[in-house]
Each structure stands twice: as C-alpha cells, then as structure tokens.
C-alpha cells in the first residue's frame, strides 16, 4: 500500500478527474463551444505554464545536484565502481567471489559513462549524471515529437486554428513526463542507467513509427519504401543498443515487431527482426567469449531466476497506476467522445490513409511499456524507477488522444486541459527537498571518515555502499541477486568470511541471524553500532537511515 499522504492524493486525483470527465461529456453534449473558447484558452495557458514550471524545476535540480561529490542514490557508488572498471580496462563480468562482481545489468551505460570519464579527465559522478541528464532531455524531445506526430494528421484542413494543437499537446506530454520526476524515484539525473535506456528505447520506437509513416505517404513509392526501410533498420539498431543498456528493451522490440506483423509489412518486419537478431547474437557471443560466459549468467540467468511476485504486481495496478488517473481519464473521455462525426470529418482528409495505419507501432510500444513496468515492479528489487517506461507511454497516449479530440471537435476543450492541470497537481512535489543540503554532505563525510579509520585495521567490506573503500568490492544488491539465483550464499563468499578475508564488515542493515547476516555473524560475531545523524542519499531508498545505526562487525 502507498503511504497515507500519497493514498489521499491518489483518491482526490481520481475523484476530481471523474468530475472533470463528467463535465467534459456534458459540455460536449450541449455543444457550447463559442461561450467557452476564451476560458479554454486561459486554462490551456495555465496548463502550458505548469509544464514550463516543472521542466524548469527539474533543470534547476539537476544543475544543483550535478557536482554533489557523493552518491545520490544508495547503489550509485557501486554503479561508479562499474564505470571505473571500464575506465581502467578491468573485466566487468567475473565470477561471484569474495572480491568484486557486477550487477545484473548489460554494459552500455558503463561503457558510455566510462568513455565520458576518459574524455573529460573526470572520474567523479559528474560524467555519469551528465549521461542521465542528456538522456532525459533527449527523451523529453522524443516525447514531444512523437506525441505531436500522433496528433498532427487529425488537424482539419478547413480549421487553421488547429495547427497549434499538436505542438501544444506534445509539449504537455513532455511536461507531464518531466513533472513525474519525483514519483519515479528522482532518477532522471542520478548515476543510474535508466534514462539512457528510456532515451534509446523511445528513439527506436519513434524511428519505427516514422518508417511506418513513410511507407504510406503519397508520392514516389520507391523512394518512400527506401526511407521506410532505413528508419526500420535504424530503429532495430537503437533498440538493440537499448537492450544492452537494460534488458527490458526487448519488450519494445517485440512490440515493434508485432506492429509490423499486424500491418502486414513483411519486408520491413524481416529487416527489423533480422537486424535485431544479428546485432544481439553477435554482441552476446562476443561478451560471452570475453567473459567466459559470465555475461549471460548475470544478465540473463540472474534476472530470470528472481521470478514474478504477484503482490508486487498488484501494487502496480492499485497503487502506481492510480497516480496517473487524470491522464488515463484524459484518454478515456477522448475515446468515449468519438462519434460518427469524427469518421465523417476524417474521411475527407487527405491524410486519412496515414491516420488509419500509423498508430500500430505506438500501440505496440504503449502496451510493452506498461507490461515492462508491471513485470519490473513485480520483480524483486523493482523500485519506483521501473515506472518511468509505463508513465511516459501513458502521458503520450493521453495527450495524443486529447489533442486529436480537440482537433476534430473543440467542444469541451476546457475540461481536457483541466484534466492535464489535475495531473500536474497529482505529481507535484517540493523541489528543494530533492537537492542535497549541507547536513547530507556532512553525513557522507562522517561515513567516509569512519570507513577510512576502519581500514587501518585491514580490509573493509562495506556491504551497502560502493565507492567507499580503497579496494572496490561487491555490493549487497548484487550479492542478493546471485543468492536468489543460487538459492544460497555462494561458496566463495562463505570461504571469504570463514577465512576472515575482511578485517571489518560494515552494514546498514540490522544484524540478525537470518539469510546472509546469519552467515556473516558466524564469523564476525562482535557487533558495534555507530549512529549517523542523517544520510547523504536523497534519491530512492534512504540508507543509512537516521532512525537506525550503522553496524560494524568484527571477528
């Protein structure tokens, strides 16, 4: 269940959205368009202003957090260790042992960030965050372009006033995407791979959609076919790179292939699938050769072994999706309002053939985005960041449907814009709370000083945080993933504990005789606690927490 405050926000959003939806239907039935034109324009300006406001807030937050010298998210330090291995030419995928072994992620983000570190001569978190920031900006641009392209064919030729509507709703979709920053874990500028994955996936889907558009354009059929195939192959390449950023991208590729099959575009389907299979097979083969098959172990076997947990999947349905109630109802009322009048108006439009065919790719991406978020949420360790894909496709779908509705029949536009405002209010947050403060910096420095003092006793393993010890080591989430696969603590880890390879074990978790800690306490029974007044982590799971101690375990 969500926290009480969030639950109240969700309930109020749903109730207000239902009210606005009912008002929209009534206004459309009354046919009162002229009397509400001025009001609709005013409400539209308010919605656009909110979009600008939240985009500006995120830009300010990302600039303020860029040079914070410590991890923003609690496994950011371990992600940095991955990039440092790339920077120093060390292998990424090695057997799980008492030293270092990786997360269950493919290598593209680490390769891009490590390369940027080399170019910038900067091995801090800055290059990693720049990758996320530029990916977020790129994603917002793709959201704008894709949503606009979905609305544009519905602009009626004899109504010039509709020409600005596609851009308006494209911008609103991008604004909703950026405004959801806090409720997807504040990941957009963090040292994580999610935004690069989202950007590459959106680019791949948009190029495939563009190829679909080219294939039905009037004019030179041969040239259009060449363009369509070019966009299709380019989309396959980008989605393959996205897959080697985060495995979830394979769902978008499946959605795109399904759309081409539905469209009976068999030549382009063959080009898309063939390109994807060749790139993926060659890359997997090379990565397995260089890692002695450990790449497939971490990136395929480990994620699949964790399975799906039904209670977590239900959380996605009953706690995560309701936050987007306004956008969902925005699209729902636009669909419900469709009448034979729409068909009559579009029948005479010169772009009618495009309108009837161009949505297949987006529908495939939309379904796979929701499915991917639900499966990832139901996966052990699926935090708020996995909602990004589902939320972004919902924003695009809702805004595209509303924009089409207004292009065809402007009646009730005021209520559609008010639903957008309602969505902005639903995801509102305090920007100042996302920026690290002096107390966070002090807490990080105290923790680092503690680790440095302990290293005078010998080797230290800091289970919950990477980048803190002089010698990098595995992190607890990576170990728990492997334990979920092997159904036990790996023998190499047990041997390292038994032989007292580490002089000190540091953990943020309460040491109790269960799971991993049961094994640790066998060989490190002497427990000391050190309480911090705050945490430096301002994104995701706040650990170490001021409400509990940091524990120091010795033989």
Q: What is the pLDDT along the chain (555 residues), one digit of tens a residue?
A: 455 565 666 666 666 666 666 665 566 555 554 446 667 778 888 899 999 999 999 999 999 999 999 999 999 999 999 999 999 999 999 999 888 999 999 999 999 999 999 999 999 999 999 999 999 999 999 999 999 999 988 876 556 566 788 999 999 999 999 999 999 999 999 999 999 999 999 999 999 999 887 765 655 566 778 888 899 999 999 999 999 999 999 999 999 999 999 988 899 999 999 999 999 999 999 999 999 999 999 999 998 887 777 777 788 888 889 889 889 988 887 776 554 344 444 444 433 333 445 789 999 999 999 999 998 888 777 788 999 999 999 999 999 999 988 887 766 678 788 889 989 988 999 999 999 999 999 999 999 999 999 999 999 999 999 989 988 899 999 999 999 888 888 999 999 999 999 999 999 888 886 778 888 999 999 999 888 878 899 988 888 887 778 999 999
pLDDT at position 270? 94
pLDDT at position 336? 66
Report pTM.
0.92
pLDDT at position 291? 94
Beta bridge partners of 361: none
pLDDT at position 312? 78
Taking each helix axis from N to C end, the angle separating 515-523 and 491-498, rounded to the nearest 10 degrees, works out to 30
Give the whole-angstrom CA distance, residue 122 versus residue 125.
8
Give the whole-angstrom CA distance, residue 243 versus residue 197.
8
> Which helix H or strand E contains 551, and what residues bound it?
strand 550-554
439-442 — which CB contacts under 8 Å span 24+ positions?
A: 439/533, 439/534, 440/70, 440/534, 440/535, 440/536, 440/537, 440/538, 441/68, 441/69, 441/70, 441/536, 442/534
pLDDT at position 35? 45
Closest CA to 476 of 184, 78, 189: 78
Residue 417: CB atoms within 10 A of its CB come to: 27
DSSP 414-447: HHHHHHHHHHHHHT---GGGGS--HHHHHHHHHH
> Which helix H or strand E contains 294, and what residues bound it?
helix 294-296
Give the whole-angstrom CA distance, residue 373 versus residue 544.
27
Task: Convert the pLDDT of each residue in 506-535 to its tens digit.
Answer: 998 888 867 788 889 999 999 998 888 788
Domain boundaries, the chain: 4-72+125-433, 438-554
Closest CA to 419 of 27, 32, 7, 29: 27
pLDDT at position 343? 46
């Amino acid at each position: 269940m969500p926290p009480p405050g969030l639950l109240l926000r969700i309930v109020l959003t749903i109730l207000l959205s239902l009210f606005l939806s009912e008002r929209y239907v009534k206004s459309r039935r009354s046919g009162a368009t002229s009397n509400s034109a001025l009001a609709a324009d005013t409400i539209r300006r308010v919605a656009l202003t909110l979009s600008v406001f939240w985009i500006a807030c995120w830009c300010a937050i990302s600039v303020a957090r860029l040079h914070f010298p410590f991890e923003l998210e609690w496994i950011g330090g371990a992600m940095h260790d991955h990039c440092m291995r790339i920077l120093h030419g060390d292998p990424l995928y090695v057997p799980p042992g008492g030293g270092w072994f990786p997360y269950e992620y493919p290598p593209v983000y680490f390769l891009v960030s490590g390369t940027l570190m080399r170019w910038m001569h900067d091995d801090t978190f800055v290059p990693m965050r720049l990758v996320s920031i530029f990916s977020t900006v790129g994603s917002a641009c793709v959201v704008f372009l894709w949503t606009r392209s979905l609305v544009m064919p519905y602009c009626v030729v004899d109504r010039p006033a509709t020409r600005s509507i596609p851009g308006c709703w494209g911008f609103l979709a991008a604004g909703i995407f950026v405004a959801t920053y806090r409720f997807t874990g504040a990941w957009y500028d963090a040292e994580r791979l999610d935004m690069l994955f989202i950007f590459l996936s959106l680019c791949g889907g948009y190029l495939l959609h563009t190829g679909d558009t080219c294939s039905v354009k009037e004019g030179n059929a041969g040239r259009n076919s060449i363009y369509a195939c070019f966009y299709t192959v380019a989309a396959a390449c980008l989605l393959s790179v996205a897959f080697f950023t985060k495995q979830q991208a394979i769902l978008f590729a499946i959605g795109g292939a399904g759309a081409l099959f539905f469209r009976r575009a068999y030549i382009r389907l063959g080009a898309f699938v063939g390109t994807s299979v060749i790139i993926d097979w060659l890359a997997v083969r090379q990565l397995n050769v260089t890692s002695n098959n450990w790449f497939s172990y971490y990136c395929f076997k480990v994620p699949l072994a964790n399975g799906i947990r039904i209670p977590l999947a239900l959380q996605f349905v009953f706690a995560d999706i309701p936050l987007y109630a306004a956008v969902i109802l925005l699209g729902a009322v636009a669909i419900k309002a469709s009448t034979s009048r729409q068909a009559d108006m579009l029948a005479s439009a010169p772009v009618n053939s495009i309108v009837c065919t161009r949505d297949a790719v987006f529908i495939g991406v939309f379904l796979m985005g929701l499915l991917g978020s639900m499966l990832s949420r139901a996966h052990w360790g699926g935090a708020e960041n996995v909602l990004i894909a589902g939320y972004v496709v919902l924003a695009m779908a809702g805004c595209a449907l509303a924009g089409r509705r207004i292009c065809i029949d402007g009646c009730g536009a005021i209520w559609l814009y008010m639903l957008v405002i309602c969505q902005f209010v639903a995801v509102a947050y305090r920007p100042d709370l996302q920026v690290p403060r002096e107390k966070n910096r002090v807490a990080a420095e105290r923790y680092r000083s503690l680790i440095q003092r302990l290293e005078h006793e010998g080797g230290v393993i800091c289970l919950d945080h990477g980048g803190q010890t002089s010698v990098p080591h595995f992190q607890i989430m990576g170990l728990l993933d492997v334990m979920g696969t092997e159904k036990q603590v790996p023998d190499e880890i047990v041997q390292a504990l038994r032989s007292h390879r580490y002089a000190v074990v540091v953990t943020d978790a309460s040491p109790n005789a269960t799971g991993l800690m049961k094994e640790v306490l066998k060989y490190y029974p002497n427990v000391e606690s050190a309480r911090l007044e705050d945490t430096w982590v301002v994104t995701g799971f706040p650990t170490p927490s001021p409400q509990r101690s940091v524990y120091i375990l010795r033989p």
